[in-house]
Amino acid sequence: MQCAITVSPLTPTFGAEVLGLHPQTVSDSWPQLRDAFRTHRLLVLRDLPLDEMQFTLLAQRLGPLEGRYVMRRSDGKASSPVHLIQNLDADGRVAANPYGNANYFWHTDKQYHLQPSLATLLQAMQIPPTGGTTEFADMSAAYEALAPAVRERIRGLRAVYSYPHMLRTCLKREPTAEEIEKTPPVDHPLVRTHPETGRASLFVGMYCCAIVGMPPQESCALLAQLQAHATDRRFVYAHAWQPKDLLMWDNRCLLHRAVADFDMARYRRVMRRTVVQGEVPV
């Protein structure tokens, strides 16, 4: 079935709203969606009530789904490739924050793997009446806005990315022996090149803990400077969720974070999520 869709930019540099898409027309509309994803890097698919199978098939059009999840669900079990992110405890009751605070820090998904994720898809299942915002930051525009001398300084540097570092700094707890064993530190370019567009982007976030070969104090100062610059409001889009929204974004060039701007002990926020496997950054 053919269906005309419209793609409208959300900000001057990234993000677009997609209207007119229906579950039965996703396949026919995929070439246009794929081009829009490459161009805008964040797509807000409005009023698209996909079931779990349709959601999975859409994500798989971008590539294989990620199956390696170290962080456990609220019931202690490992997450499946398609899973729920929710403020509910193991008994299904509203809980203030069962997953801790990690989602409220700027990050890109699976950055601590040798092959960080390509994309994430997030679908609104239940949302609070207001709030529950998700923010995104454009790492390509941030890199291009750096002073030429700073770009020259960082262009060839590699950084270390660590899941245990995130646990210590964001969740304020020591990693378990299993977490340390399953997530050895990796290093990636601090400025990575997008494999499809060739565009350069900063690659920072909560997993980024050091710069290879740089003294710790200098390394921490530089990373803090870059992160503060990259998440300046001029590079940020704040998404106010609507019922049936489905977002898909490019982890290779965008940071994201949840915002604790609603009463988590009162209102449900249930999101369906999956992550698409990526490639080794260059």
Beta-strand ranges (E) seen in 38-197 are 42-45, 83-86, 119-126, 134-138, 158-161, 186-189, 191-193
CA distance 50 to 18: 15
Is 263 considered catalytic here? no
Measuring CA to CA, which residue among 208, 206, 170 is closest to residue 189? 208
Which structure tokens are listed for 14?
């990234």
List Cα–Cα distances, 145 to 142, 210, 230, 249, in angstroms: 5, 22, 9, 21
Is 239 considered catalytic here? no
Is 256 considered catalytic here? yes
Which structure tokens are listed for 200?
């350069």
- Single out the catalytic residue among 188, 256, 257, 269: 256
CA distance 74 to 14: 34
- Single out the catalytic residue among 113, 188, 239, 273: 273
Is 43 in contact with 18 (CB distance < 8 Å)?
yes
- Single out the catalytic residue among 40, 41, 107, 272: 107
Stated length of the chain: 282
- Single out the catalytic residue among 40, 41, 109, 250: 109
User: Cβ contacts of residue 152 below 8 Å, gap of 6+?
Assistant: none
Q: Which residue numbers are catalytic? A: 107, 109, 256, 273
